[in-house]
Amino acid sequence: MSHSKLVTEGVYMSVIQEIRCPNCGAPIAFKPGEIIATCHYCGFTSVIETGKAFTLEHSMFVNEYNPTQVDELLRNWMRSGFLKPGNLARSSKTQEKNLTYLPFWVIPVTATSEYKGIFERLVPPIMKEGKVEKKYDWLVLARKATEFPTREYDVPLEGKISYDFRKIEKFAKVLNSEIDKREAVEIARQQIESYHQFLAKQDVDKIIEMKNDFSIGVSVYLHAPIWFIVYEYKGERYNVILDGATGMVIKGDIPATRFGAF
Ligand SMILES: [Zn+2]
């Protein structure tokens, strides 16, 4: 049976609850707001509210790098590009390096937006019509408060495998989903709509009307290995987010270089 207990987590007080894994009976801990949970013992994924098996596809990417290799990737990134201080790789220290499996929804969408707008760069302005037609595997992060640059993350979809808990490192953290499929589809629709508005505005100055037709495919729930790194350089802390599947830096803070400063 489920019970709850109060635990202190740093300065926060959060209620952690438990359900029994419907597959192996092990306790599955979850936090308020989490709605899809994966068992750490057998990898079984269930819907917390109903205690029933999660029936959609649950996939993952395998993390290909150990902490030492991640440090090497970080140094390589620091040495590349012109915008970084020349001594960044030599003079910085890695302070934190945490591997977290983040939950995502991938929503296949074929989206067509027909628009009418005014092109004002001519006198007199003219009415123009156009169409944006695109296919996406639209990525929605299944967490509400996690900071993650979803649009900058090029998901290596061809490398996905079925979720296998044996491939998850003991030291890694696996986050459960706080967003269900319906909500994820809604978020994808809204984001695509505003992206298409942005695209249409390259063509017309003012949009008068836009008709969207979205055809939604079968969604996939997946966990991706993401390294959250903090490094120190000249007394300041900087964040780097690295994709554990490809070794690519998804986003990294760079110390400002000062030119001509005396
Ligand atoms: Zn289990």
pLDDT digits (tens, 9 = 90+) for 246-262: 999 999 999 987 654 44
Residue 130 pLDDT > 60? yes
CA-to-CA dists, residue 213 to 111, 207, 237, angstroms: 6, 17, 45
Nearest to 163 by CA among 19, 18, 61: 61
Q: How confident is the model at residue 7 (pLDDT cuts 50, 70, 90)?
A: very low
Name the percent of the chain in helix, strand, coil, to the closest 5.
20, 45, 40
Q: How far is the CA of 21 from the centre of ligand 1 (A)?
A: 5
Q: Residue 248 gets which letter from DSSP?
A: -
- C-beta separation of 154 from 52 below 8 A: no
Q: What is the pLDDT of residue 1?
A: 38
List phi, psi (to 5°) of 169.
-65, 150
Specify which residues 117 forms β-bridges with: 128, 207
Spacing, Cα 64 to ligand 1 middle (Å):
25
Vertex 114 angle, CA 123 and 205, to 5°: 30
Ligand 1 centroid vs 205 CA: distance in angstroms? 55
Rg (CA), the chain: 22
pLDDT higher than 70, residue 235: yes
Separation of 174 CA from ligand 1 center, angstroms?
A: 14
| pLDDT-derived band at 146, boundaries 50, 70, 90 | confident
From ligand 1's centre to the CA of 85, what distance in Å? 48
Q: 164 C-alpha vs ligand 1 centroid, how far in Å?
A: 12
Residue 248 in tokens: 């690519």
pLDDT in tens, 30-47: 898 999 999 999 999 999
Strands 173-174 vs 93-119: parallel, antiparallel or unpaired: parallel
CA of 3 to the centre of ligand 1 (A): 17
d(CA 149, CA 141): 9
Share of the chain above pLDDT 70, in %: 93
Position 4 confidence tier, pLDDT thresholds 50, 70, 90: very low
**187 C-alpha to center of ligand 1: Å?**
30
Ligand 1 centre distance from Cα of residue 13 (Å): 27
Task: Tell me: pLDDT of 90 over 60.
Answer: yes
| pLDDT above 90 (res 135) | yes
Question: Is the pLDDT at 61 greater than 50, yes or no?
Answer: yes
State the chain's mean pLDDT as an integer: 91
Q: Tell me: the pLDDT tens digits for 157-206? A: 999 999 999 999 999 999 999 999 999 999 999 999 999 999 999 999 99
Cα of 25 vs centre of ligand 1, distance in Å, is 6
pLDDT interval class at 8 (50, 70, 90): very low
DSSP 177: B
What's the CA gap between 72 and 94, in Å, rounded?
A: 11
CB atoms within 10 A of CB 103: 25
pLDDT of residue 14: 60
- d(CA 39, CA 76) in angstroms, rounded, equals 36
- Of 245, 252, 77, nearest in space to 156 by CA: 245
Q: Report the separation in Å between the CA atom of 37 and the middle of ligand 1, taken as the mean of its atom positions.
A: 10
Cα 45 to ligand 1 centroid, rounded to whole Å: 8
Residue 55: which pLDDT band, with cuts at 50, 70 and 90?
confident
Distance from the alpha carbon of residue 61 to the mean position of ligand 1, in angstroms? 20
pLDDT top residue among 117 and 8: 117
Dihedral pair phi/psi, residue 199, rounded to 5°: -65, -40
- pTM across the whole model: 0.86
Report which secondary-structure segment, H or E, holds 238: strand 236-243
Question: pLDDT class for 3, splitting at 50, 70, 90?
Answer: very low
